[in-house]
């Protein structure tokens, strides 16, 4: 039995909730005085104004209008109408004490046809200028994501977008250069891509997110997701290098990428196969992108061994670019919501399997749940797993961590009264903030900030308007914003934690 297996065996007298940390009380542990906090959104989820002022179509405009519907019969043509309500929304952020706001730019709003020779939409540029200026006028730091899942439809129509690595890199680099040139005098924090794992797997293998590629639709799901991931890695590196060479010396900003990931515990803590499965799921989920982007290395050995020719190869020049660009990533952007259990299967895998035949669940071999469920069954309260993931990322990549998304939808969050008194969310946020404190002060992990997901209820992709992740309630009929108690909890807890550091 390995040392790791012995550790798990010794934990037999501890309940599973205690092991993952989900049964403990919120302690409101201290955080550093310079720790920043805010909230995050994504353009397609909140902006609305789907065709206003010259905006072009994105893949989500297409996907959310598919027949039959893939988004619960709903779309984000209006959603929160953030495009027309930025003054109201920025004042709301200020009233809640937010120090920073992470938002994304809609590529098809600033370059409707998206290509390197296509016209710029100055109305779209003007919108983001207004938003950035309003934030700065209220002492809120803008943090900008260049790509949050909403590729211009024109790129898929023209050449398959991510599926054509060289063409996409050229178009994406031109788009990024435009954003740096127009906004970089005021924006000092940039993210190239949000959650490349989701773009690759959910968009190009199981088809549950735009553009909806899947085997049933005739797509080559054995190869597509790995090509998409390859394109993202090289596009990120090209843009990071370009930013460092052309803009960073004068603008003094920082740039990186945001990777999402669960933490994984073994389904059966006494089985070496499941212990190995938990490690391998982290390599397939996070190491897939992180090892190349942050270490300048090839793909993890476990991926190369299992996927073989399905995984694209880096050329010598690719690896030289990755080695050069990796040192220029200023932080690790972490989106994290929950922890899962990994179980190694022995039955034959599908030919397009992307997990190394590992099953994920929320219940262990003894029938114990990993934590209480939110309104999304997969999202369980397991702050102990969050602390372990912070340590895993720090040990592997040695970069300061920004928690760029974290939050949950509450059970029963339907009417306004229940939504505002969101005690489930307050406890979740408190426990996860405590895990950050423990990782910093007890484990030596460098964590620099925290963005709650999300600023407000919004269009939740394929789930439509069902799950509500916001710390501000949105009435989708009137678009009235009402802060939930979790918004005030965050405001008060960060004020108190900061005072405690003085």
Residue 165 is predicted with a pLDDT of 98
CB of 46 closer than 8 Å to CB of 39 = no
Compute the distance between CA of residue 425 and CA of residue 431 in angstroms, rounded to an integer.
Answer: 10
Catalytic annotation, pick one of 47, 167, 283, 405: 405
The answer to whether residue 405 is catalytic is yes
Strands 100-104 and 141-147: parallel
Q: Which of 195, 224, 283, 413 is catalytic?
A: 195
Looking at residue 16, its pLDDT comes to: 54
List Cβ neighbours of 370 (8 Å cut-off, separation of 6 or more): 16, 20, 22, 265, 339, 340, 341, 362, 363, 364, 380, 382, 385
Domains along the sequence of the chain with CATH? 3-499 (3.20.20.80)
Residue 18 φ/ψ region, left for φ over 0, alpha for ψ in the -120 to 50 degree band, beta for the rest: alpha
User: What pLDDT score does 497 carry?
Assistant: 72
How many CB atoms lie under 10 A from the CB of residue 215?
Answer: 16
Cβ atoms of residues 187 and 253 within 8 Å: yes
Full pLDDT tens readout for the chain, 502 residues: 444 334 333 333 344 555 566 668 999 999 999 999 999 999 999 999 999 999 999 999 999 999 999 999 999 999 999 999 999 999 999 999 999 999 999 999 999 999 999 999 999 999 999 999 999 999 999 999 999 999 999 999 999 999 999 999 999 999 999 999 999 999 999 999 999 999 999 999 999 999 999 999 999 999 999 999 999 999 999 999 999 999 999 999 999 999 999 999 999 999 999 999 999 999 999 999 999 999 999 999 999 999 999 999 999 999 999 999 999 999 999 999 999 999 999 999 999 999 999 999 999 999 999 999 999 999 999 999 999 999 999 999 999 999 999 999 999 998 888 899 999 999 999 999 999 999 999 999 999 999 999 999 999 999 999 999 999 999 999 999 999 999 999 999 998 876 776 5
Q: Does the annotation mark 224 as catalytic?
A: no
Q: What phi, psi does 267 have (nearest 5°)?
A: -60, -45
Token reading at 147: 């790509």
- pLDDT score, position 407: 98
């Amino acid at each position: 039995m390995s040392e790791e297996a012995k550790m798990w065996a010794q934990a037999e007298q501890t309940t599973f909730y205690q092991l993952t940390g989900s049964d403990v009380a919120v302690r409101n542990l201290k955080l550093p005085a310079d720790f920043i906090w805010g909230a995050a959104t994504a353009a397609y989820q909140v902006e609305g104004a789907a065709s206003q002022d010259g905006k072009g179509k994105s893949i989500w405009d297409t996907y959310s209008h598919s027949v039959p519907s893939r988004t619960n019969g709903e779309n984000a043509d209006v959603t929160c109408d953030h495009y027309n309500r930025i003054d109201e929304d920025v004042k709301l952020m200020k009233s809640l004490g937010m120090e920073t706001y992470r938002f994304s730019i809609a590529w098809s709003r600033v370059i409707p046809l998206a290509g390197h020779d296509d016209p710029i939409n100055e109305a779209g540029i003007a919108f983001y200028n207004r938003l950035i200026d309003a934030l700065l006028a209220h002492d809120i730091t803008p943090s900008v994501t260049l790509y949050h899942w909403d590729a211009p439809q024109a790129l898929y129509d023209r050449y398959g977008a991510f599926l054509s690595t060289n063409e996409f890199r050229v178009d994406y680099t031109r788009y990024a250069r435009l954003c740096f040139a127009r906004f970089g005098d005021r924006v000092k924090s940039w993210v190239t891509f949000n959650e490349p794992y989701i773009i690759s797997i959910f968009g190009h293998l199981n088809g549950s997110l735009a553009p909806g590629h899947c085997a049933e639709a005739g797509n080559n799901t054995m190869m597509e997701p790995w090509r998409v991931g390859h394109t993202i890695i090289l596009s990120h590196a090209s843009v990071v290098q370009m930013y460092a060479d052309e803009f960073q010396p004068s603008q003094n900003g920082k740039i990186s990428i945001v990777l999402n990931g669960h933490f994984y515990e073994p389904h059966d803590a006494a089985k070496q196969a499941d212990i190995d499965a938990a490690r391998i799921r982290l390599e397939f989920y996070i190491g897939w992108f992180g090892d190349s982007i942050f270490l300048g290395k090839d793909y993890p050995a476990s991926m190369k061994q299992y996927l073989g020719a399905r995984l694209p190869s880096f050329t010598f020049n690719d690896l030289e670019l990755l080695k050069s660009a990796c040192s220029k990533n200023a932080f690790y952007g972490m989106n994290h919501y929950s922890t899962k259990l990994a179980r190694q299967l022995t039955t034959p895998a599908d030919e397009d399997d992307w997990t190394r035949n590992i099953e994920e669940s929320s219940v262990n071999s003894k029938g114990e749940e990993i934590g209480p469920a939110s309104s999304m069954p997969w999202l369980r309260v397991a702050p102990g797993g969050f602390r372990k993931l912070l340590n895993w990322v720090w040990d592997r990549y040695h970069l300061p961590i920004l928690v760029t998304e974290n939050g949950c939808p509450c059970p029963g969050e339907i009417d306004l009264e229940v939504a505002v008194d969101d005690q489930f969310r307050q406890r979740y946020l408190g426990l996860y903030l405590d895990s950050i404190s423990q990782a910093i002060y007890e484990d030596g992990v460098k964590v620099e900030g925290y963005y709650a997901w999300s600023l407000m209820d919004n269009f939740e992709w394929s789930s439509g308007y069902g799950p509500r992740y916001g710390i501000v309630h949105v009435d989708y009929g009137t678009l009235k914003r009402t802060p939930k108690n979790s918004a005030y909890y965050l405001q008060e807890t960060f004020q108190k934690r900061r005072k405690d550091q003085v």
